[in-house]
Structure 1
Amino acid sequence: MTATLRQAARKSAGAALSTALGACLLTVGAVATAPAAEAATTCGGTASIYGVLPDGRLTFSTITPATGALKKVRVGADLGFEPRAMATLDFNTVLVTSTTGALYRLDVLTNNESLVLERPPVKIFDSGWTHDKLTYDGHGHLYGTAGGVLLRYLVSQPKPTGSAHIGQRKEIGSGFVLKTLTAAGDDRLLATTSAGALYSYKINADGTWDRDDLKPSGWSGFDQVVSPGGGLYYGRIETTGAMYWYKDADPADGSGTDIAYHNDIPVNTGGWTQRLLSAQPGTFSCTTTADPLDGHDIPAVKAAGRDLMNRYDGGAWNSTAQWNCLEQLWDRESGWRYWADNPSSTAYGIPQALPGSKMDAFGDDWRTNPVTQIKWGLSYIDGRYGTPCGAWTHFLNNNWY
């Protein structure tokens, strides 16, 4: 086995954005009438996923939400025990059970250029953790299944050391014979069955629960399903190692009819060989506001764009040089008009996504909300070119990006 996971060839459907205004394809008519903006739901963030390879080595991967593109893969050392289930607490803390029923804490020192543990795995409990699945909701609750029983624990410290920090064990119910289990939000779980059904569970404070049947079938091929939040779901097919991604416009509405399938542009068509996968919770989120940004006020849209760019990836792009590149790029593409519509290619919006519907990953208001479009565009640039100046340089050389 190689030290890194191979990235399979991606399909051409997501290869590039159109040249839009830069190629003088947008007409005055195409940008003259803007659809009315209403309540705005915008999403943002990234997807960070830990895993364990069959040979026991820890992995860390990041995925660009805008396109599903695999951005980074890092492989660390062998854990030194045979893992059975895992849950990610935060960016540098992972819980893993062993086949002998022990519970370990992994403390990650770095996962940027390399994946390094701060210390060997710390054994928190010697026995009793016979869970076949484990997941953390990002809001203090650790969930697991053992023998079809769903259990909930309270995690009171970011670096739990024992029963004082992982306690209040509560049996939620029996009959949870599930193929996959992941947390999709605060006390909200997503699960699949061997028959291919997709379920959403809402666990109430008193331990009662409600189930919504999102899909009756079609999900049986996945042996791992994980979510970084915000209705973003990733599913791995064990037989091929392919990874696919999906976006639920409203993960709390109890319906699966608004789940967008992106099977034409998978994360990878192979290479995901981990025996376990666990997403860091809450790294992708959505917010709704009743007073969206006035998209007709182009200076205000640009100001919002610069603020979002400055804060992107922890401020990595916060510079005048990067802003100059981004401003010129989208000046050429769309004039920063959220309704810019290329009549010949279906490219749409400020970043000229092709097709515009790709932006649904960042909000179902992608047609009318400039913030949704900007967030998608920044994520696209990050995944394909690394920086706004990288995208602008490519545009100058090729008249598209």
Structure 2
Amino acid sequence: MPTTLRQAARKATVAALSGALGAGLLTVAAVGAAPAATAATTCAGTASLYGVLPDGRLTFSTITPATGELKKVLVGADLGFEPKAMATLNFNTVLVTSTTGALYRLDVLTNNTSLVLERPPVKLFDSGWTHDKLTYDGHGHLYGTAGGVLIQYLVSQPKPTGSAHIGQRREIGGGFVLKTLTAAGDDRLLATTAAGALYSYTIDGAGGWARDDLKTSGWSAFDQLVSPGGGLYYGRIPTTGAMYWYKDANPADGSGGDIAYHNDTPVNTGGWTQQLLSAQPGTFTCATSSDPLDGTDIPAVKAAGRELMNAYDGGAWNSTAQWNCLDQLWTKESGWRYWADNPSSTAYGIPQALPGSKMDAFGDDWRTNPITQIKWGLSYIDGRYGTPCAAWNHFLANNWY
């Protein structure tokens, strides 16, 4: 790991201690009345970002959605050509253009400790890919801009081999003079301008488009903007290498009024030196249910908590030991009450998030939906401690986690 990235990761860990969860020393009044539950909108998933350093080396980073903290950074080999734009198709496939107009496919192999290419970059096209920006929506459409023109392509295979799998070129329109461009969902794009506006574009099946002006100013500092889906947005500031994160409660509503700014808890205040960044699409998703879990039924809430814990990270925590740790931790903190409110610290909910509003990253119903709170809490534990038992042991030693 480069020194700047390593130092940034350390800074994030140290700085995050100021926002750690406090012990849930609740009063009777604090847990006496449960606010009514409403339609449940819950989110889950991860944020995975590929990047290219100025020296041409590939990077892979993961960010904890619950807190915005940097969880992991891996650095791989030099690509062997000068990159210009990149788009992540899936976990192990990345498309990158060169400054000479070629398009390459990167076949990536990565785990917790290493990042390598399965083979040298595969050249799909020798020329014609002069796009200054590239992004993939996770639903078959690759978008790029060239000379202010927005272009759409159909990608028909997870590992395309050339024109047979990347085709149906369609010019959506002109006037797309943008500073950043990223896909935020199925045929939905997010972009910023040099003047600092934040735009959302929706592309229809006929190639028509509509634009919503989410913000008229305030976003000019970012030279990279990426989204793993679910209304999570990450922006990089090139002058400092800082990375900031934002949560749009409803990314499809055409309004920027419900975007939560987390500028007080950035991913990092420095260290993001990549010249290109691209998020794996659709790894963070949100769903709405009109039949929320009865959060006052504590046994049912616990059962849902165990089910979510067992499935977390591909089942990595699926054990009786980890469940016993999580059960004891949140029983101590809140009694598994979604309305548990610590008046002395503003910690709130089942995991006692401090402040409770942090849980908005996993749903705008964080005040009343135990599922939203549990998903946030699991992500928090993963990013801070790695496992429920590690969090419980920290609590036993310090009376907070």
Secondary structure at 2:5's aligned position in 1?
coil
- Report 1:72-221 matches (<5 A): 72-221=72-221
- Report 1:231-310 matches (<5 A): 231-310=231-310
Spell out, residue by residue over 1:331-371, the C-alpha distance to the aligned partner (whole angstroms, 9 max, x if none).
00000000000011110000000000000000000000000
CA contact (8 A) 2:19 2:354 kept: no
Q: Could you state the TM-score of these two structures normalised by the residue count of structure 1?
A: 0.98
Name which of 15, 19, 40 aligns with 1:15: 19
Shift of 1:245: 0.2
CA contact (8 A) 2:301 2:336 kept: yes
Q: Relative to structure 1, is the Cα distance of residues 106 and 3 closer, same or farther in structure 2, using a 3 angstrom cutoff?
A: farther
Shift of 1:191: 0.0
Q: Relative to structure 1, is the Cα distance of residues 216 and 277 closer, same or farther in structure 2, using a 3 angstrom cutoff?
A: same
Aligned partners of 1:313, 1:162: CA distance in 2, in Å?
Answer: 34
Residue 333 of structure 1 pairs with residue 337 of structure 2: no
The alignment-based identity, stated in percent, is 86
CA contact (8 A) 2:4 2:271 kept: no
Secondary structure at 2:163's aligned position in 1?
coil
Q: Could you state the TM-score of these two structures normalised by the residue count of structure 2?
A: 0.98
Aligned partners of 1:290, 1:164: CA distance in 2, in Å?
Answer: 43
- Residue 250 of structure 1 aligns with an amino acid whose one-letter code is N
CA contact (8 A) 1:60 1:111 kept: no
Secondary structure at 1:345's aligned position in 2?
coil
CA contact (8 A) 1:13 1:265 kept: no
Shift of 1:112: 2.6
CA contact (8 A) 1:4 1:75 kept: no
**Counterpart for residue 377 of structure 1:** 377
Aligned partners of 2:324, 2:72: CA distance in 1, in Å?
Answer: 27
Aligned partners of 1:315, 1:113: CA distance in 2, in Å?
Answer: 19
- Residue 20 of structure 2 aligns with an amino acid whose one-letter code is A
Secondary structure at 1:295's aligned position in 2?
coil
- Residue 44 of structure 1 aligns with an amino acid whose one-letter code is A
Aligned residues: 397
Secondary structure at 1:321's aligned position in 2?
helix
- Residue 113 of structure 2 aligns with an amino acid whose one-letter code is E
Aligned partners of 1:13, 1:363: CA distance in 2, in Å?
Answer: 24
CA contact (8 A) 1:85 1:133 kept: yes
CA contact (8 A) 1:60 1:73 kept: yes
- Report 1:315-354 matches (<5 A): 315-354=315-354
Shift of 1:4: 7.0
- Residue 15 of structure 1 aligns with an amino acid whose one-letter code is G
Give the unaligned 5+ runs of structure 2: none
Aligned partners of 1:88, 1:129: CA distance in 2, in Å?
Answer: 16
CA RMSD of aligned residues (A): 1.1
Aligned partners of 1:113, 1:4: CA distance in 2, in Å?
Answer: 18
Shift of 1:5: 1.7
Spell out, residue by residue over 1:191-216, the C-alpha distance to the aligned partner (whole angstroms, 9 max, x if none).
00000000000000000000000000
Aligned partners of 2:348, 2:156: CA distance in 1, in Å?
Answer: 46
Shift of 1:28: 1.2
- Residue 28 of structure 1 aligns with an amino acid whose one-letter code is V
Shift of 1:15: 2.9
Q: Relative to structure 1, is the Cα distance of residues 158 and 191 closer, same or farther in structure 2, using a 3 angstrom cutoff?
A: same
Aligned partners of 1:78, 1:290: CA distance in 2, in Å?
Answer: 49
Shift of 1:320: 0.7
Shift of 1:14: 5.0
- Residue 21 of structure 2 aligns with an amino acid whose one-letter code is L
Shift of 1:158: 0.3
- Residue 237 of structure 1 aligns with an amino acid whose one-letter code is I
Aligned partners of 2:91, 2:18: CA distance in 1, in Å?
Answer: 29
Shift of 1:38: 1.0
Secondary structure at 1:189's aligned position in 2?
strand
CA contact (8 A) 2:189 2:202 kept: yes
